[in-house]
């Protein structure tokens, strides 16, 4: 099997070289003010000039690049869960979509990237598109979101966190990418805008009497948010309680009986447009909750206290800010603002 894999890798590289396509390593001559480097997840990511072609392997990473005004540099994107917000949709119109889900290594190389970015180690790592070391062998620098490498990804599932995630990790990602592209001023403006939105959304909001559960997907064995990922940021910002604050796993699969026993006041539902799990859309989730014998008598279901969020808002991304805004607004609507 190792011999066959080696032959495959050699064949791919020969094919790409013969076609005049494939990874485009950074030019040796540095641009003014370059090279620039950032410390990233225990590695050094260095670029000799502002990358002209970047492939972002996850939607969250793509959205940061779009928000920084770098649409013309994106040579490919992949792994999407949601439509874009209106303020980014126009910029994304000309960006090539390599795949709706995880792209192949060959398709990424064919886009001739000078930088590869990703939101998750599951995408940029063993079992994903390729490892960072594989890209490094071709002279292509890589960048992984600090919000993902700050958790333990060594076990099954989506990893676990022993320390709560904060917006600081997301702001670091914005600043790092802005630095590598030489647009630090845009990065600072974006961070200031996001901070301002969160402050305005929460104000003096304190909803300490409200408990919230977050359901991402899957109706057979639902993925519900543990204490300390992006939903943890949202919960802390609005001053509420996570019904599964005692769970360190990022997205543990928890049975319906346990959720019904904890009986949260509010249910935050992922409204996804992908087609990978059961009950991806919010409509499917609500239909399930209101018909299932275990869940239909839960307080949040009887009172229809639902908050619909995009998948990107429930992941550690710049759209987590939109999650804070929507949850805060709904808590006020439900009379649970404190």
pLDDT at residue 20 in the model: 47
Percent of the chain predicted with pLDDT > 70: 91
Yes or no: say if 227 and 244 are a contact pair by the CB < 8 Å rule. yes
Q: Same structural domain for residues 187 and 210?
A: no
The verdict on residue 125 lying in a domain is yes
pLDDT tens digits for range 139-170: 999 999 999 999 999 988 899 999 999 999 99
Domain limit, last residue, from 194, 222, 241? 194
- The answer on 179 and 210 residing in a single domain is no
Angle between the N-to-C axes of helices 184-202 and 230-238, in degrees from 0 to 180, rounded to the nearest 10? 50
On whether residue 176 sits in a domain, the answer given is yes
* Residues 179/233, Cβ–Cβ less than 8 Å: no
Mean pLDDT of 83-110: 96
Tokens 């991806």 identify what position?
A: 280
Domain-located, residue 235: yes
Instruction: Tell me: pLDDT of 47 over 60.
Output: yes
Does the pLDDT of residue 3 top 80, yes or no? no
Of 158, 173, 194, the residue that ends a domain is 194
Tally of structural domains, the chain = 2
| Same domain (yes/no): 69, 181 | yes
| 239 touches 205 (CB < 8 A) | yes
Q: Are residues 124 and 262 in the same domain?
A: no
104 and 34 within one domain: yes
The last residue of one of the domains, among 167, 194, 221, is 194
Q: Given CA atoms 32, 142, 104, 73 in this order, what sign does their dihedral have?
A: negative
Instruction: Find the domain containing 235 and state its range.
Output: 204-333
Query: Is residue 101 in some structural domain?
Result: yes
Compute the average pLDDT of residues 174-188.
Answer: 98
Instruction: Please give the Cα distance from 188 to 167 (Å, whole number).
Output: 14
Q: Tell me: do 60 and 110 sit in the same domain.
A: yes
**Mean predicted confidence (pLDDT) in 67-73:** 98
Q: Which stretches does DSSP call E strand in the chain?
A: 36-40, 43-47, 54-56, 74-78, 97-99, 115-118, 142-144, 211-217, 223-224, 241-242, 266-270, 306-309
Higher pLDDT, 6 or 260: 260
For residues 318 and 64, the answer to whether their CB atoms sit within 8 Å is yes
Q: What is the pLDDT of residues 196-249, one digit of tens each?
A: 999 999 998 989 999 999 999 999 999 999 999 999 999 999 999 999 999 999
Angle between helices 184-202 and 167-180 (to 10 degrees): 160
Which CATH number fits the domain that encloses residue 299?
A: 3.40.50.1980
pLDDT digits 0-9 by tens, 301-310: 999 999 999 9
Predicted confidence (pLDDT) per residue in 259-281, tens digit = 999 999 999 999 999 888 999 99
Residue 15 has pLDDT above 50, yes or no: no
Residues 146 and 214 occupy one common structural domain: no
Burial of 226 from C-beta contacts in 10 A (0-12 / 13-18 / 19+): buried
26 near 167, Cβ under 8 Å? no
Q: 303 with 216: CB under 8 angstroms?
A: no
Separation between Cα atoms, residue 267 and residue 222, nearest integer Å: 13
pLDDT of residue 22: 59
Beta bridge partners of 214: 268
For the beta carbon of residue 246, count every other beta carbon within 10 angstroms.
9
Residue 154 and residue 77 in one domain: yes
Domain membership flag for residue 17? no
Assess whether 275 and 175 both reside in one domain.
Answer: no
280 DSSP assignment:
-
8 in any annotated domain:
no
């Amino acid at each position: 099997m190792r011999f066959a894999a080696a032959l495959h890798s050699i064949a791919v590289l020969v094919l790409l070289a013969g076609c005049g396509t494939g990874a485009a390593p950074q030019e040796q001559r540095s641009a003014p003010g370059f090279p620039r480097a950032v410390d990233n997840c225990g590695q050094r990511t260095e670029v000799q000039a502002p990358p002209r072609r970047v492939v972002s392997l996850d939607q969250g990473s793509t959205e940061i690049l779009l928000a920084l005004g770098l649409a013309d540099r994106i040579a490919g994107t992949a792994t999407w869960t949601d439509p874009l917000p209106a303020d980014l949709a126009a910029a994304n119109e000309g960006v090539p979509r390599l795949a709706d889900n995880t792209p192949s290594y060959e398709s990424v190389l064919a886009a001739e990237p000078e930088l590869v970015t990703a939101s998750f180690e599951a995408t940029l790592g063993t079992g994903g598109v390729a490892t960072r070391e594989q890209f490094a062998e071709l002279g292509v620098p890589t960048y992984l979101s600090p919000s993902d490498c700050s958790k333990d990804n060594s076990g099954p599932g989506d990893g676990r966190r022993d320390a709560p995630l904060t917006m600081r990790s997301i702001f670091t990602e914005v600043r790092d990418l802005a630095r590598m592209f030489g647009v630090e001023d845009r990065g600072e403006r974006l961070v200031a805008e996001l901070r301002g939105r969160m402050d305005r959304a929460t104000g003096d909001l304190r909803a300490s009497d409200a408990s919230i559960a977050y359901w991402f997907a899957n109706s057979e064995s639902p993925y519900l948010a543990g204490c300390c990922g992006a939903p943890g940021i949202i919960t802390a910002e609005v001053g509420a309680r996570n019904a599964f604050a005692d769970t360190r796993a990022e997205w543990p699969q928890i049975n319906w009986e346990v959720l019904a026993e904890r009986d949260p006041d509010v249910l935050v539902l992922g409204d996804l447009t992908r087609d990978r799990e059961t009950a991806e859309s919010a409509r499917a989730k609500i239909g399930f909750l209101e018909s299932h014998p275990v869940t239909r008598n839960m307080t949040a279901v009887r009172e229809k206290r639902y908050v619909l969020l995009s998948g990107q808002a429930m992941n550690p991304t710049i759209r987590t800010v939109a999650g804070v805004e929507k949850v805060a607004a709904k808590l006020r609507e439900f009379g649970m603002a404190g």
